[in-house]
């Protein structure tokens, strides 16, 4: 069955019944058809005609990955509770499905109602990281929408974006109407309310966006003029109008009670990346690893009470039937009540055989104690991240881990019955030497020795190597990424040094890391690079089998731009950065001070354990563009 759908005025015209008929005849011809069928348990089937505002929550990656995104589940649940609001989901189709849709002129559609995206009022993208950007353009094109925000008219949906990559959004600025900085639960509800008011008042798209720009956490790129110096560095980012803020500050949920746990999550028809029940026990991290963007942008730390977690777990398990419950946090062992909470949950569900999991553990013996509580029935692998191979380098990145911590943790793990440990390391760190790389080799061999002492030849060590991507809003935002050739030599050394049938060695694609760094540190001129690479076929760049680096390097050459200018160039303290007009609440003065302390090999303690480090997050409305404090100053 082949349908030729009329494409008129930039939008597809197709009713849900016709689309359902097309899916019935075509889904069995693509991989994993349940990615596109909808109708999952706990999905909402709202009344389309009765809805005043219709929102499509878009994730620019596969259904399998997007279904594991807790943020999307939270927004889906909250929006569908609002009177007159309907929220649906949409994910990036795999190339076989995309080919079928383009062949027959089928538009991208919401999974719940099967209405084309062009019929929604608002499309909200969640941006997990930079290698999904080509999928954003592809999804807009599959929806039949103009790619550029300036070309979309009153009849088109508003296109917005949030997530961690929204804190440095300039490469996407030409394609997105507005960005949401920070935690979107409340601000998205405010946006929907504002949209309803604007519709009632007969406001234009431009008038709505100007009003939206006055909400904390909303960044509307079209209202900012960007200029450059002759050398290509940024000269200024100026608001177009007195009613437009000079700096946009993130939104924050001060108390997690105001963001209740989702207890009726949509359950995938197929196994997703994290196919289990999830309760967020804590948000934010105060450890202060200098490479970690999440640890900066999600400050301050906020916890749920054990009572709230247990109540949410009971309701969640009753509405899903899952046999595994994950307690979500950046570092579960930092949750103040974690031991008692684990013990209580284990007791609550002992007869039901519930498995508990902690997705993130620090490398310390306390973490092994916690793992022991949840491993009564099965022992899978334990995953830890030493990050660097020497104490000198771990101090530079402020990892807060000693070799004694490492040995003590592995002794505890292998002596208690674990046979497999996965270790994450990062290369390309500042001032890294061959001795630091040899330190990684020595740590892995030490882990192997300890494992064999307790588990014999059954022990397996998995080693994963990533490359530092200096991210915005971190102390390393001024640092340049290591040269690709140097990274290749480092990986080659580690591969040769860790050859063993008992060691599983893997590493990230160096070209993909370089592209990620370029777009993480990029300005608006990269929109042209993104467009040309997408036109040349760039899709699913986060997937090794689809990433084609040469498409991107060709686009850079054609535009007369150099990826090294963005990825590898060290920034000076005085240079204006493309994200300096966007505040995550952490002051630039603090970040610069931490950068300098790192270069000197000085560590900074976790502020939850004692003295405030003066990061500035308590002044959440301030813009972090003030000059740095003198070295060693107590405040920003």
Same domain, 348 and 407: no
Same domain, 116 and 237: yes
DSSP3 helix / strand / coil % (the chain, rounded to 5) = 40, 15, 45
Looking at residue 187, which CATH number applies to its domain?
3.40.50.280
Do 208 and 79 share a structural domain?
yes
Q: Which residues are CB-contacts of 81 (< 8 A; sequence separation ≥ 6)?
A: none
Number of domains within the chain: 4
Q: Is the same domain home to 99 and 176?
A: yes
Is there a domain that residue 525 lies in?
no
Q: Which residues of the chain have pLDDT under 50?
A: 1-12, 620-636
pTM (predicted TM-score): 0.93
End-of-domain residue from the set 443, 476, 508: 508
* Predicted local confidence at residue 244, as pLDDT: 97
Please indicate, yes or no, whether residues 205 and 309 belong to a single structural domain of this protein. no
Question: According to the 3-state scheme, what is the secondary structure of 553-602?
Answer: HHHHHHHCCCHHHHHCCCCCCCCECCCCCEECCCCHHHHHHHHHHHHCCC
Q: Which residues of 379-389 are buried (b: 16+ CB within 10 A; e: fewer)?
A: beebbbbbbbb
In the 8-state DSSP scheme, what is residue 288?
A: -
Per DSSP, what are the bridge partners of residue 57?
A: 89, 124
Domain that holds residue 65: 7-249
Q: Which residues contact 75 (CB under 8 A, 6 or more apart)?
A: 57, 87, 124, 184, 185, 188
Residues 354 and 378 in one domain: no
* 81/223 same-domain check: yes
pLDDT at residue 333, as a whole number? 85
345 and 401: one domain? no
- Residues 385 and 462 grouped into a single domain: yes
Q: Report the CATH number that the domain containing residue 424 is assigned in CATH.
A: 3.30.750.200
Q: Give the per-residue pLDDT at 514.
A: 98
């Amino acid at each position: 069955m082949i349908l030729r759908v009329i494409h008129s005025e930039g939008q597809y015209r197709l009713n849900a019944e016709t689309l359902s008929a097309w899916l019935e005849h075509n889904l069995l011809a693509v991989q994993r058809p349940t990615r596109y069928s909808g109708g999952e348990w706990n999905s909402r089937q709202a009344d389309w005609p009765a809805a005043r505002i219709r929102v499509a929550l878009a994730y620019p990656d596969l259904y399998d990955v997007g279904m594991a995104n807790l943020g999307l589940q939270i927004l889906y649940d909250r929006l569908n509770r609002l009177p007159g609001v309907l929220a649906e989901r949409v994910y990036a189709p795999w190339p076989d499905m995309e080919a079928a849709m383009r062949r027959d002129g089928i538009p991208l559609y919401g999974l719940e109602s099967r209405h084309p995206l062009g019929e929604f009022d608002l499309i909200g993208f969640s941006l997990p990281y930079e290698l999904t950007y080509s999928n954003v353009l592809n999804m807009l094109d599959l929806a039949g929408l103009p790619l550029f925000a300036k070309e979309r008219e009153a009849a088109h949906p508003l296109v917005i974006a949030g997530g961690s990559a929204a804190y440095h959004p300039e490469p996407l600025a030409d394609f997105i109407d507005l960005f949401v900085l920070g935690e979107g639960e409340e601000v998205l509800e405010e946006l929907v309310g504002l949209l309803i008011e604007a519709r009632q008042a007969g406001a234009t798209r431009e008038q709505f966006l100007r009003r939206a720009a006055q909400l904390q956490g909303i960044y509307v790129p079209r209202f900012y003029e960007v200029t450059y110096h002759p050398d290509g560095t940024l000269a200024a980012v100026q608001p177009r109008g007195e009613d437009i803020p000079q700096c946009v500050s993130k939104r924050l949920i001060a108390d997690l009670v105001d963001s209740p746990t989702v207890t009726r999550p949509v359950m995938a028809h197929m196994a997703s990346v994290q196919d289990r029940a999830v309760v967020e026990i804590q948000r934010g991290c105060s450890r202060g690893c200098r490479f970690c963007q999440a640890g900066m942008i999600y400050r301050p730390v906020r916890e749920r009470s054990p009572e709230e977690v247990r109540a949410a777990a009971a309701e969640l398990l009753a509405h899903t039937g899952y046999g595994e419950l994950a307690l979500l946090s950046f570092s579960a062992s930092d949750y103040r009540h974690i031991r008692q909470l684990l013990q209580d949950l284990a007791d609550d569900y002992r007869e039901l055989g519930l498995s508990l999991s902690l997705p993130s553990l620090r490398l310390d013996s306390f973490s092994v104690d916690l793992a022991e509580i949840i491993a009564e029935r099965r022992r899978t692998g334990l995953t830890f991240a030493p990050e660097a191979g020497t104490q000198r380098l771990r101090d530079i990145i402020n990892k807060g881990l000693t070799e004694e911590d490492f040995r003590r943790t592995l002794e505890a793990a292998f002596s208690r019955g674990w046979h497999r440990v996965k270790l994450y390391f990062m290369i390309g760190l500042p001032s890294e030497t061959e001795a630091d790389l040899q330190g990684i080799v020595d740590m892995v061999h030490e882990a192997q020795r300890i494992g064999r002492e307790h588990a014999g030849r059954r022990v397996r060590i998995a080693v994963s190597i990533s490359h530092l991507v200096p991210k915005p809003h971190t102390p390393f935002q001024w640092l340049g990424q290591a040269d690709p050739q140097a990274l290749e030599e480092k990986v080659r050394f580690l591969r040769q040094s860790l050859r063993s049938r008992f060691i599983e060695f893997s590493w990230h694609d160096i070209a993909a890391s370089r592209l990620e760094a370029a777009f993480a540190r990029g300005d608006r001129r990269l929109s042209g690079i993104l467009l040309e690479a997408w036109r040349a076929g760039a899709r699913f760049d986060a997937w090794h089998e689809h990433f084609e680096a040469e498409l991107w390097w060709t686009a850079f050459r054609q535009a007369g731009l150099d990826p090294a200018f963005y990825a590898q160039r060290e920034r000076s303290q005085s240079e204006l950065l493309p994200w300096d007009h966007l505040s995550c609440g952490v002051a630039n003065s603090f970040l610069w001070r931490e950068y300098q302390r790192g270069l000197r090999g000085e560590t900074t303690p976790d502020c939850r354990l004692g003295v405030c480090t003066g990061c500035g997050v308590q002044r959440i409305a301030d813009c972090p563009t003030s000059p740095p404090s003198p070295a060693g100053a107590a405040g920003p």
